[in-house]
Amino acid sequence: MAIPTRQGVVGFFMSDPQLNSESEGRPRMFAWVGLEDPTPNQDGTYPPPTRTQLVMFNTSATRAAETFRNGDNFVATGRADISEYHGQQHERFIASSIGPDNNLATIHLQRGRTEQHTRDAAAPEHAAEVDPAAAALARLPRAGSPISRGAADDPRSHPPAAPPLCALFCAAPGRNHAHDHTDTR
């Protein structure tokens, strides 16, 4: 089975993204970016970044223009495009998705679904209007509550622990299991 891959670039914004509309009315984001070459020179230094255009369309363009500014590092997937303008060929990268480069930036994600779940758990009577499943979960007895029949350490009062992610690899024959998976609850 072959892993599906796409073209990707790593770089930084050399200008603030500009958001405008195409003739069809769909949003278009344009910015000058510097693309970094990950291959070092023979002396161990890296070549200077390649200056090119980054373009995005539709909702992704709007989100990128709101998120990024000059100097921000990014990782993007998409495709290279060569066009001719005034008799000269110009290369640009048309991005289909883009995000901050977490190797060079601290990222804080906003998870709307988690925030909604927290509000529903705090107000179970309101949760039924928003999400009936969340309301049913909110009515279940919790460990340590007066309705709970067991002590906080009763295994029936806790959901079963999920297997560790590395269990897929650590359990493979011949693997050295160098760390433990003690449940820390």
19 beta partners = 29
pLDDT tens, residue by residue, 56-113:
999 999 999 999 999 999 999 999 999 888 899 989 999 999 999 988 878 777 777 6
Q: Which domains does the chain have, with CATH numbers?
A: 7-100 (2.40.50.140), 109-140 (no CATH)
pLDDT tens, residue by residue, 134-146:
565 566 555 444 4
Looking at this protein, which amino acid is placed at residue 185? R
Q: Token digits for 131? A: 């999400």
* Cut 0.85: pTM above it: no
The Cα–Cα gap between 51 and 158 comes to: 55
pLDDT tens, residue by residue, 25-67:
899 999 999 998 888 899 999 899 999 999 999 999 999 999 9
Do 31 and 51 form a contact (C-beta atoms < 8 A)?
no
The Cα–Cα gap between 136 and 132 comes to: 6
